[in-house]
Amino acid sequence: MLAVLGFAQLCMAQTTFPVNGVADPRSGTYAFTHATIVQDANKTLNDATLLIQDGKIVSVGENVTIPKDAVVVDCSGKFIYPSFIDAYSSYGMPVPQRSAAGFNFRAPAQLTSNQKGAYGWNQALRTDIEGIRVFSADDAKAKPLREAGFGAVVTHHPDGIARGTGIVASLANDVDNKVVLKERASAHFSFSKGTSSQSYPGSLMGSIALLRQTFLDADWYKNNPKAEGVNLSLQFFNEQRSLPQVFEAGDKWQDLRADKIGDEFGVQYIIKGGGNEYQRLNEIKATNATFILPLNFPAAMDVDDPAEMRFVGIDQLKTWELAPTNPGAFEKAGIPFCLTTDELGSASEFLPNLRKAIEYGLSEKAAMEALTKNPATLFGVYDQIGSLEAGKWANFMITSAPVFSDKATIHSNWIQGMKHEIKESNYFDVKGQYTLTMMGDKTSTLKLNLKDGGVASFIDKDTINGKYSYDGKMVKLSYTKGRGQNATDITLSGVATTPQQWNGQGLDEKGRYFIWKAAFDSGLEAKSDSAREKKPMELGTVTYPFLPFGNETMPKQETMLIKNATVWTSDKQGILPATDVLVKNGKIAAIGKNLNESGARIIDGTGKHLSAGIIDEHSHIAAASINEGGQSVTSEVRIKDNIDPEDINIYRQLSGGVTTSHILHGSANTIGGQTQLIKLRWGANADGMMFEGSDGFIKFALGENVKRSSSSLGNNRFPDSRMGVEQVLNDAFNRATDYQKDWNTYNNLDSKKKALTPAPRRDLELDALVEIMNSKRFITCHSYVQSEIVGMMRIAEKYGFVLNTFTHILEGYKVADKMKAHGANASTFSDWWTYKMEVVDAIPQNAAIMTKVGVNTAINSDDAEMARRLNQEAAKSVKYGGLSETEALNLVTINPAKMLHVDSKVGSIAVGKDADLVLWSDNPLSIYAKSLYTIVDGTVFYDREKDTQMRERLKDEKQRLVQKMAAAKRSPAAGGARGMQRPTPRFEYMNTCTDHYHSHGLLVIDAEEVIEND
């Protein structure tokens, strides 16, 4: 031990810093004795000693030899824990500064990076930020973290999509170079572009596309270092790929999106979650990621105003109740995790919220590991911190009781051997009841109660209040005997032979000395939470999705026999009266009369109508972002990257018979993003909603939205005219043609030449355009004016492909013959008109005229509310265009299925097709028709009778939660750590995603872009 001490002293003596004054090389040696020492989550020592010198732990154990020069600190009755480690912080980093000019809607877009130097094209990629270069210790900000028990943090500069490197720093009050424990500990990422004022990316899917392209570019740059010259953004990106990769996701769905990017490029991210992961725990576990969890539990709402509470969703109430279960759910699921103070209003909220998480199921062992060993191991500093072992930094805290107990007080936090006082004043906690014996002329015995704040009660026949003080050795007691003129001050002073055995001298009312002693009887000793008797906690259940009308378990496929219905086949068989349909294994197994199937669920269709599920060819529901308008061409972005399975419109549209939706990118640019076909499987995750085996589509747009007619005052993004739109298309496909030639040339090289020839740069934008030219991806084009419609077809023919679908197409009746000759489909509105100049020639006969000419035509919604009554929209073509009822229903069933290339699977009732069905109460084209059952793949996802029952249950559940919040108001300890807050009513936007707002009397600038981005 002496050798170790000597070596440590030698090491500490070496310094490159000059001394201004007289050198003081004294080293601190401290021995903390008689403590309960928690070395780590698995090992606790009783009546043990911790010996430290020069900031490092020398020895810890029950039989430690204490050097003569050591300062001995008696820790009898105290606990010593490793200081906590915050796994996600921005401590010591500069605050990201946004532009002083602020956001100006009419200002020209910033299309290129403002960053000077040999950097990449997008300033949201801040790979050049090295945490060690911008870090500066800040004692004022470290203080609240130390008071919460933290001794070190993993910290980085939180700005941008790629954020550079982070460091591990201690929270000691010392110069910067000594507190840095690891200078390159991590690389950081997020979906937020931060302070970047560049227009791209302007959406979640744009951020994802930028990250994916950056991975590809970094690999290309590494293999072709001379192809582009110096690109420091990519160079740093590659250098940082060997570090632990931390992704700030902040929500359960964002967690999964981040993990998908990692899976694509062989990276296992450490994911900083959002606290709602318990709502999708199976998917979270499947990421195989380690998580960093915040403890930002929502505060209870003030529920006094019924008018306000009407607009609070039950999911908000359930989140308040269940959020504290998140860490415990991770532990039970076996998902590794760390904890952070990030997202808390103050670090002082951390311990109360952590104790609440323990109350809601997290074990003390798991909490300890999440705050010590897990982050230390994850970021490669477990050899320095994270447990109390010889050779590690002396980072520890001294507490009055087990640290996770409500009664625990942190007295001091020692970091790198430096003491930081927290609540040192009550270090000697002697509260409790004593027997006090005073021995003078006669011996008297009374009870002595010591309380917080130095308050003492002397109890004989009466209770007399007095005071006490105790500094660990010297004791002083005082009280006043008698009243008025007879009042006399009695003072007792003495020493503690042990913390609970005191004796000394006193002076009585006659000025005579006497001897006294006090012996401890009992006190309020804090017990660990695991030792407390816990009452069963009443908690609501997690539903899928975590919204009203969610299910506790996902609905299952059933064998169903729908009997005696009027079957609208949308097929050559037409309408079949009094017919049975058998559904088995998710498929239509049989159609006919008097069918039987043992064990099948029988649904009586007598007097009811059965149709194929409605298909909405043009929708914008169920997506976290719709428009990436930062550039004229954004074919690299994908709706599938940001599917939102918890959009309530999924359920609402199921209630209107919709089973399949084509989710389109918006119309903010000429070539928009890749679309996604989904089935409305309510409760499934994003992957579970994808229409398996469907072709890829992409959104194009023409006209006013693209050239930004309504925002031209600040528009500097090309194009600015209809002529420019055509040139964007020509240029894009010219570039794609050259790109394809380069790859064909490279792929046709023999193996020897290929080994010597750099591969072309992979470009996600051009990949999608090449797919179009090779008929592997298909266009749905936002269109209005006949000249542009014809022009778009000519461009398609020039580059050798067919324009698959014109959507909106309100002047389609003018060029229907040309569309038929080209081979295009049409997806239109039933009767919308005059909501902008492009549509003044719209007529309600449009769909019928195109149908009669021979163009495959569909009616779409482009509107979350209208999609609930697409059957009625189709019926308008019977009135205005003279279509038959079967032709009208085909507009929303088999016709959109054909234009989406899925008519072999859905769109009609035929044996072998997917069992996507709707049982209507009436003729499906009637305004009185209601969906009684909406079935997807043989699974009932909407049941009108069950819906009615669920509404009643939801009322009861909401009332239970409101009453629970009211109780939390009466007892704030039962509510959120931040106290009561006003309810946050949820008012929904009109989620219509096209540009027809003037018909509602609204003044909207660039309506489609603004509204589609919410």
pLDDT digits (tens, 9 = 90+) for 856-895: 999 999 999 999 999 999 999 999 999 999 999 999 999 9
Give me the pLDDT at residue 528, please: 45
Give 835's contacts (C-beta < 8 A, 6+ positions apart): 995, 996, 997, 998, 999
Q: How many CA atoms lie within 13 A of 686 on its CB side?
A: 21
pLDDT band at 147 (very low <50, low <70, confident <90, very high): very high
Q: Residue 948 pLDDT > 90, yes or no? A: yes
pLDDT digits (tens, 9 = 90+) for 786-827: 999 999 999 999 999 999 999 999 999 999 999 999 999 999
The b-or-e profile of 25-56 (16+ CB within 10 A means b, else e) is eeeebbbbbbbbbbbbbeeebeebbbbbbbbb
Give me the pLDDT at residue 4, please: 46
- Mean pLDDT of the chain, nearest integer: 90
Residues 575 and 609: beta-carbon distance below 8 Å: no
Q: What is d(CA 254, CA 192) in angstroms, rounded to the nearest whole number? A: 11
Residues 886 and 566: beta-carbon distance below 8 Å: no
Q: What residue spans of 799-869 are helical by DSSP H? A: 812-822, 846-853
Question: Mean pLDDT over residues 169-187, rounded?
Answer: 89
Give me the pLDDT at residue 1013, please: 30
pTM of the model: 0.90
Question: Mean pLDDT over residues 383-396, rounded?
Answer: 98
pLDDT digits (tens, 9 = 90+) for 49-80: 999 999 999 999 999 999 998 999 999 989 99
Q: CA of 738: how far to CAs of 734, 763, 766, 800, in Å?
A: 6, 12, 10, 15
Token readout for 335 is: 């998902």
pLDDT digits (tens, 9 = 90+) for 327-379: 999 999 999 999 999 999 999 999 999 999 999 999 999 999 999 999 999 99
Looking at 271-285, 432-446, 630-644, 929-943, which range is the least confident one? 432-446
Q: Residue 535: how many CB atoms within 10 A of its CB? A: 6
Q: What is d(CA 118, CA 75) in angstroms, rounded to the nearest whole number? A: 58
Looking at 433-437, 737-741, 958-962, which range is the least confident one? 433-437
Q: What is d(CA 778, CA 696) in angstroms, rounded to the nearest whole number? A: 6
Q: CA of 166: how far to CAs of 72, 127, 187, 684, in Å?
A: 38, 11, 6, 36
Give me the pLDDT at residue 997, please: 33
Which candidate, 223, 913, 98, places its Cα nearest to that of 584?
A: 913
Which candidate, 77, 86, 78, 30, places its Cα nearest to that of 53?
A: 30
**Percentages (nearest 5) of helix, strand, coil residues in the chain:** 30, 25, 40
Out of 243-252, 302-311, 468-477, 532-541, the most confident range is 243-252
Give me the pLDDT at residue 82, please: 98
3-class secondary-structure state, position 476: strand
Residues 394 and 440: beta-carbon distance below 8 Å: no
Q: Residue 1010 pLDDT > 80, yes or no? A: no
Residues 131 and 166: beta-carbon distance below 8 Å: yes
Q: CA of 21: how far to CAs of 18, 24, 173, 393, in Å?
A: 9, 9, 21, 28
Give me the pLDDT at residue 707, please: 86
Give me the pLDDT at residue 297, please: 96
DSSP string, 276-296: -GGGGHHHHHHT---EEEE--
3-class secondary-structure state, position 900: coil
Strands (DSSP E) found in 325-390: 337-340
pLDDT digits (tens, 9 = 90+) for 828-844: 999 999 999 999 999 99
Q: What is the DSSP letter of 484?
A: G
**Torsion on CA atoms 531, 535, 536, 537, rounded to nearest 10:** -100
Q: What is d(CA 638, CA 623) in angstroms, rounded to the nearest whole number? A: 11
Give 251's contacts (C-beta < 8 A, 6+ positions apart): 273, 274, 276
